[in-house]
Structure 1
Amino acid sequence: MRKNRIKKIALWAIGIIVVLIIVSGVLFFAFRNSILQKAITKVSGKMNTEYNSTFTVKEASFHGLSGIEMKEIVLAPKNADTLLSVKELKTSINLMHLLTGDIQLGILEMKNGFIQLVKNENGKNFDAFLKKKNKDEEEDNTDGPDYASRAYRLLNKALNLVPTDMVLTNLNLRLDDMGRKVTLHLKELKLADKQLESTIGVTAKDIAQNWKVKGFADPRNKQADLDFFNTDGTQIQIPYLNERYGLTSGFDAIHLNLDDIDMSLGKLHIDGYASIKNFMINHKRIANQDVIIDNARFDYRFLLGSDFIALDSTSTMQLNKIKVHPFLKYSVEEDTIYEMKARIPKMAAQDFIVSLPKGLFTNFEGMEAEGSFSYNLDFLYNKNKPKELVFDSSLKKDGFKIIKYGAADLAKLNTAFTYRAIDNGRIQRAIPLTVDNPYYTPMEQISPFLRKAVLTCEDPSFFSHSGFINEAFKQSIIKNIKTRKFSRGASTISMQLVKNVFLTREKTLSRKLEEILLVYILENNRIASKERMLEVYFNIIEWGPDVYGIGEASSYYFQKSPSQLTLDECIYLASIIPRPKGFMWQFNDEGKLKPFAVKHNDYIKKLMLRRGLVTAEDTIAQTGQIDVTGRARSRIKIKEANPFENDTTGVKDFFMNLSKEIF
């Protein structure tokens, strides 16, 4: 009896729901055009009050139960260029989803229209739509950010607005940024039976191309597999970036794949891959020539939870033959934590060398190696505990050996060679590192004080590290994160040596990456001894304007040989290595070191004492002042002495009276 009663109640409930749906449908059908007009009026009012814009639709009506037709749709900010204009639009809406508040488009036909983004001396025509949220909207959710749920809702809404059948004709996206203009003309786009195809005409300064997008697209099942290429088979040129940022870029083709978007157990999974062929980029901050990547692929798996966003370690980034397994995570569960890991599985060293992007590692072109290696990187930064930063970088070799060098022949450090510095892009005079050069100074002829002072200032652990100092990198990273800029480096003498002998002074990503790899090869393959590296370093670095090597520097400042330098003179020379051309600003108009310079050098002296590099006896008669007697003195602005200053003999008065008599 009880079961029958429950069944009856359930049937009555279902019946009532069906009746309500039918009645709602009838009422909606009867008043649908009125409801549509009210909806347009509501949108128009919101555009006016919240965005200071005018939204108008000349004609709007329902056709059938779910079809909607609109004509002359215009969105125009007041006192600015029109943002959107569409002549004709036809669409259909899934009524069941509409009743639940989830708008889902069935079909869409749109033609003859444009969206234009304009920035000129009067401002931006889209500025009102970028306004910040108010304070109430920005208040923290007591339940946490819930990244997974928010992202899933946004993705669902976005994909539901993509219709299952679509035809777009003669639509334009225009960009005008202070006269820098780009137009994307969508000649036609068709989506039918889950197959998408479109042709886009692209015009900009010096660019006129026709791009093609073709492939599979299923917005309801959240899947896509698309190819993006140029119709004539030439490389796609990316517009605007060159005019705006001086960056030139292009590629042959891009393949985009979205395999799955799944929400389960409170976590959002997004899986797929993207690949690109013959990607080219050129910018003065990257390299002084085109950088080309033949093939690259990114197999991704993004994970989002309630309090974290992550790129899973099962993801793979492939650059030619190089495969990297990355892991990235941003978490706010307890503290705000940034985490990164990267792993390169064991691979042949030669495969790595030939896979490096062309133009980015020019000094490695032609290099040959044998053996293999693997690499691991661990990085973790806690915003609330910055001093606990984790930075571990390790590379394991198996029979790794360089058998042929490229343009940078590291073995020449062991030979007599001629060094030419590059200053502001200009090659400077030759500095022979041979006995024929009277200024060339072997290590045993350099004052031990200088060696110790330079190592103290520049690289205290030079003889124990392998080219890099992990702790220095950590402190550099912490400092740069806090200042939000590259305000501190972590350069070692090994890095300075490689930069000076084998690389240019250009401040590019290319030079920095080459520097890191060359230093690693130099230090970890024992190509040159530490003593030889330091000897070359002392004989090539700049110690003043057009002053290279310690032999010339000793003469330039003190008219001495390097073996005769005092402790104070050595500490002074070590102190000017970072900025040798500006040495004269350390002196006052009497030719004496200014108080700040004396204080700095005294600090270095005491540091050397604490480390046992010098003794108390070594500091006797070392006051911190120096006497510049060489050619460098001519660059110091010394006030001419007044011969009558402090005169007590009456000579000054005699000449003053004599001048009055004459004139």
Structure 2
Amino acid sequence: MRTNKQKIVLTSKILAIVIAVLLIGFLVFRDELLDQAIDKVSTTMKLEYNSDFAVKKASFDGVSGIELDEITLAPKNLDTIFKIQKIKTTVNLWKLLIGDVQLGTLEIKNGYVQFTKKGKIKNFGAFLKKDKNEPKKPNKKRDYAEFAYRIISKVLNLVPTDMSLENLVFKLDDNGKKATIDIKKLTLFQTKLESSIDVQTNTFTQRWRINGMADPRNKKGDIRFFNIDTGAIKVPYFDERYNLKASFDSIRFNVQNIDMSRGKLHLDGYTSITNLKMNHERIANKDVIIKNARFDYRFLLGSDFISIDSSSTFQFNKIKVHPYLSYNTEKDTVYKLKVAIPKMKAQDFITSLPDGLFTHFQGMEATGDFDYKLDFMFNKNKPNKIIFDSTIDKKDLKITKYGNTNLTKMNGEFTYRAVDKGVLQRPVFVGTNNPYYTTLDQISPYLQKCVLTSEDPSFMSHRGFINEAFKQSILKNIRTKKFSRGASTISMQLVKNVFLTREKTLSRKLEEILLVYIIENNRITSKQRMLEVYFNIIEWGPNVYGIGEAAEFYFQKKPADLNVQECLFLAAIIPKPKKFMWQFDQEGLQKAYATKQQTFLRNLMFRRGLLVPEDTIGQSSPIALTGRAHSLLNIKVQDTTVIDSMAVKEEFDF
């Protein structure tokens, strides 16, 4: 009877013989196998993608090397996707025997890869289409960690340990919007990466460098991307395609750890960028500059979750942010977001704001400290249990200098000009020299209650923002899968109209949030004054601004004389004041949906004790527009011909 040691020795010998036989067989028939592999690829390209794939010459070099000459891929009647003069590579035979492809070395000389789009025709379009005949895979829950690690491993296996690229050109032509990246030379030797790259577009020419360390087998890398010429690196193509002008001095990508253990995948590293400059109409109306930004990331994936760990840090200038992001499918589909800004000096925060993004804060000074926390959670299967909690903890925080913006503007008289579709409207003077200007005590208390109930019920008590409103806004936007509802308070509307332009940019929205916080929390303007200004500047109809004009335009009254029914009407049309006439039919009567909306608002005020039944006595008849607004209604003129002819007949008969 053989001992265990003898069994192991015997098994090893058998395994060695099998491997030797396989290796000999491979060496004997490898040329035929290579030709068959190329033919198979060529057939697949022709039948499935209507493309010609060809290799003029294919041969083995040594035991594990492959050399290909003049390789092309060309879709029928379209631009060639790639044409390369020579590719030489080696593969790991042991990995190949178990079904994995791991490149050892790679050499590419003289070639190009191009993607073109002419009209709607793309030379790579066939490769984007899904195979309709492909059988549907069973709806099996994916293990995120295992799937991600498998993809990362396959990609890294295709990165050679030693590489040499010479004169390899990448071309992009999107209906005349062109970009060419010409890799003059790129080498990777003993983990050291060096390159020489020329970039050319319709608008600029530059020379780039990509240097650093790349160690694909140990899953590590540290690569720096910079420009050797004077000036910053410009991002190609995006300026012409998306009107986004972007540049930076250098960017760095670092991967410190990729580790799969106990069913969890850890990815650690950082990326940094210096002097990032962006210009786009949706971001701001001028260049936005971030001098220094860095993201130290800690990704963690499990079988049923993907997350960015809270130990990650995003830093721009002196501002540090700890983000936590999570997508979890263990029981329900749950999204979580937590943001924490640890205690920092208020002045450091102000000076760290990106140039061009917060122009109204230039020159502002502050004392004291603060920290901030945001907690958000959304359960797809239990949407009504959404969590949105935004808190700021202040310590001796005080604005000592307002900077370039006169934040006390609303406390005195000023001229307001609305902007409609980019067109500046007529000036409206907010002050006693305007005959329509109305002080708060001369505005019907009913109207004040109606407008506050419909627009901002907690205006008198909140500090500019309402967490519950944000929750409902987020929930509505998620359900409709579009931005269909905002969460603007009266404070936010005032700041937007009085201090900011109406441009729809990220800059304007961020400035709006910060200005509201400063004005409300530093009590720069009283709530009563803010409400008075609000009533005197908001649009209430076509070329109708302020309650003084609105009361006369609709009812030929003073704001103090408006009854409850008229106040309900005025409050209801604030969201779409220029379309008030569509609430009325051809007889001049309000349509059912409009009266239902006003009834809902009235009943809500009854329940909250803001109105009592006695307030509406004698106001059950349909509302009547007695001012100039009546002329804008689409009222059908009654045909009196029949009545007149009957009157003539009666008179004749008499």
- TM-score bracket for the superposition, by shorter chain length: over 0.9
Matched, 1:282 2:279: yes
Quickly say closer, same or farther: Cα 1:140–1:343, change in 2 above 3 A. Answer: farther
Q: How does 1:541-560 map to 2 (within 5 A)?
A: 541-560=538-557
User: Partner of 1:658 in structure 2?
Assistant: none
Partners of 2:68 and 2:108 in 1: how far apart?
10
Matched, 1:362 2:342: no
User: Partner of 1:178 in structure 2?
Assistant: 175
Whether the aligned pair in 2 keeps the contact of 1:364 and 1:406 (CA below 8 Å) is yes
Question: What code does the residue aligned with 2:565 have?
Answer: D
Quickly say closer, same or farther: Cα 1:454–1:447, change in 2 above 3 A. Answer: same
Partners of 1:447 and 1:122 in 2: how far apart?
60
Q: 1:610 aligns with which of 607, 611, 614?
A: 607
| 1:506 positional shift | 1.2
Question: What code does the residue aligned with 2:52 have?
Answer: T
Whether the aligned pair in 2 keeps the contact of 1:271 and 1:301 (CA below 8 Å) is yes
Question: What code does the residue aligned with 1:219 have?
Answer: P
Question: What code does the residue aligned with 1:599 have?
Answer: K
Partners of 1:340 and 1:134 in 2: how far apart?
38
Q: 1:448 aligns with which of 424, 445, 449?
A: 445
Whether the aligned pair in 2 keeps the contact of 1:601 and 1:624 (CA below 8 Å) is no
User: Partner of 2:99 in structure 1?
Assistant: 101
| 1:94 positional shift | 1.7
Q: How does 1:296-307 map to 2 (within 5 A)?
A: 296-307=293-304
Matched, 1:521 2:518: yes
| 1:651 positional shift | 4.3
Partners of 1:113 and 1:422 in 2: how far apart?
54
User: Partner of 1:322 in structure 2?
Assistant: 319
Identity of aligned residues (%): 59
Whether the aligned pair in 2 keeps the contact of 1:344 and 1:375 (CA below 8 Å) is yes
Whether the aligned pair in 2 keeps the contact of 1:602 and 1:624 (CA below 8 Å) is no
User: Partner of 1:374 in structure 2?
Assistant: 371
User: Partner of 1:401 in structure 2?
Assistant: 398
Quickly say closer, same or farther: Cα 1:624–1:596, change in 2 above 3 A. Answer: farther
Partners of 2:335 and 2:35 in 1: how far apart?
49
Partners of 2:353 and 2:175 in 1: how far apart?
38
User: Partner of 2:14 in structure 1?
Assistant: 16
| 1:394 positional shift | 0.8
Partners of 1:135 and 1:61 in 2: how far apart?
35
* Structure 2 unpaired stretches of 5+: none
User: Which range is displaced more, 541-550 or 252-261?
Assistant: 541-550
Matched, 1:501 2:468: no
Partners of 1:624 and 1:399 in 2: how far apart?
57
Q: 1:7 aligns with which of 5, 8, 21?
A: 5
- 1:650 is paired with a residue of what secondary structure? helix
User: Which range is displaced more, 161-170 or 401-410?
Assistant: 401-410
Quickly say closer, same or farther: Cα 1:592–1:104, change in 2 above 3 A. Answer: same
Partners of 1:587 and 1:517 in 2: how far apart?
41
| 1:625 positional shift | 2.8
Q: How does 1:191-340 map to 2 (within 5 A)?
A: 191-340=188-337
User: Partner of 1:385 in structure 2?
Assistant: 382
Matched, 1:42 2:40: yes
Matched, 1:621 2:618: yes
- Per the normalisation by structure 2, the TM-score is 0.95
Matched, 1:110 2:108: yes
| 1:642 positional shift | 5.6
Partners of 2:575 and 2:30 in 1: how far apart?
77
| 1:157 positional shift | 1.4
User: Partner of 1:51 in structure 2?
Assistant: 49
- 1:20 is paired with a residue of what secondary structure? helix
| 1:269 positional shift | 0.8
Whether the aligned pair in 2 keeps the contact of 1:598 and 1:624 (CA below 8 Å) is no
User: Partner of 1:26 in structure 2?
Assistant: 24
Matched, 1:573 2:565: no
| 1:136 positional shift | 6.7
How well do the aligned residues superpose, as a CA RMSD in angstroms? 2.1
| 1:459 positional shift | 1.2
- 2:206 is paired with a residue of what secondary structure? strand
Question: What code does the residue aligned with 1:567 have?
Answer: V
Deviations 1:359-386 (A, max 9, x none): 1111111111111111111111111111
Question: What code does the residue aligned with 1:325 have?
Answer: H
Partners of 1:49 and 1:640 in 2: how far apart?
70
- 2:10 is paired with a residue of what secondary structure? helix
Whether the aligned pair in 2 keeps the contact of 1:204 and 1:239 (CA below 8 Å) is yes
Deviations 1:398-423 (A, max 9, x none): 11111111343332322333333333
- 1:169 is paired with a residue of what secondary structure? strand
Partners of 1:155 and 1:133 in 2: how far apart?
25
| 1:137 positional shift | 6.0
Quickly say closer, same or farther: Cα 1:171–1:284, change in 2 above 3 A. Answer: same
Question: What code does the residue aligned with 1:85 have?
Answer: K
Quickly say closer, same or farther: Cα 1:442–1:136, change in 2 above 3 A. Answer: same
User: Partner of 2:161 in structure 1?
Assistant: 164
Quickly say closer, same or farther: Cα 1:580–1:65, change in 2 above 3 A. Answer: same
Quickly say closer, same or farther: Cα 1:93–1:464, change in 2 above 3 A. Answer: same
User: Which range is displaced more, 594-603 or 371-380?
Assistant: 594-603
Quickly say closer, same or farther: Cα 1:132–1:388, change in 2 above 3 A. Answer: farther
Question: What code does the residue aligned with 1:388 have?
Answer: K
Partners of 2:431 and 2:76 in 1: how far apart?
76
Quickly say closer, same or farther: Cα 1:643–1:106, change in 2 above 3 A. Answer: closer
Partners of 1:133 and 1:249 in 2: how far apart?
37
Partners of 1:381 and 1:140 in 2: how far apart?
28
- 1:370 is paired with a residue of what secondary structure? strand
Partners of 1:510 and 1:231 in 2: how far apart?
32
User: Partner of 2:66 in structure 1?
Assistant: 68
Question: What code does the residue aligned with 1:570 have?
Answer: C
User: Partner of 1:660 in structure 2?
Assistant: none
Deviations 1:272-292 (A, max 9, x none): 110111111122122112211
Quickly say closer, same or farther: Cα 1:233–1:652, change in 2 above 3 A. Answer: farther
Whether the aligned pair in 2 keeps the contact of 1:367 and 1:405 (CA below 8 Å) is yes
Question: What code does the residue aligned with 1:125 have?
Answer: N
